[in-house]
Structure 1
Amino acid sequence: MPSTTVTVGSAVGLHARPATIIAEAVADTGATVTLSLEGGDPVDAGSALMIMTLGAEKGTDVVVTADDQGTLDAIAALVAKDLDAD
């Protein structure tokens, strides 16, 4: 499975709102996607609760792994975006 490392862009990190947006996007793809901290255990990116357990703050590097490159690119872009910006 392809993977890439991206930096969390949301001002509050991967907490409630950003985690929910990412989890919903993963659910819409129907693909298997995981997130992990460098060297850490991967969590299911289709679960907002699991994403929040990473404790990833703004500026933290997160490894995104997905079934295919298109899904990987889309979810990585969400992780890197400030999802709390209006």
Structure 2
Amino acid sequence: MQRTVTVASRVGLHARPAAVFVKAASAASLPVTIAKEGKDPVSARSILAVLGLDVRGGEDVVLEAEGDGADEILERLADLLTEDLEG
């Protein structure tokens, strides 16, 4: 399963928004990857890997997970990315 999401936070997935996202991904029961066009998928549970993608506000990312409950996990993480996580 996968979801394409536009990142809503102005600063993208940097600093606080990345930390909030990684914390939520780490709490998921399945491993999740996140990718940006032109870059290989990385573990959504790794703050360094997520920061390394250099995702900016307004850019699309692809979330992917497999297994029971993947759809629900991806939906929850996608919803999180569509919020402004800076506040």
Report the TM-score, using the length of structure 1 for normalisation: 0.90
The answer for the alignment partner of 1:53 in structure 2 is: 52
**How many percent identity over aligned positions?**
42
- Alpha-carbon displacement from aligned partner over 1:21-73 (angstroms, at most 9, x marks no partner): 11111111131101101242001001111111110100001001123100000
The alpha carbon displacement at 1:16 in A equals 1.3
Letter in 1 for 2:76: A
Secondary structure at the residue paired with 2:33? strand
Answer yes or no: is the 8 Å Cα contact 1:16–1:48 preserved in 2: no
How many matched pairs? 84
Q: Distance in 2 between matches of 1:39 and 1:15?
A: 18
Q: 1:80 offset after TM fit, Å?
A: 1.8
Where does 1:7-86 land on structure 2 (aligned, <5 Å)? 7-67=6-66, 68-85=70-87
TM superposition outliers: structure 1 runs of 4+ over 2 Å? none
The unaligned stretches of length 5 or more in structure 2 are none
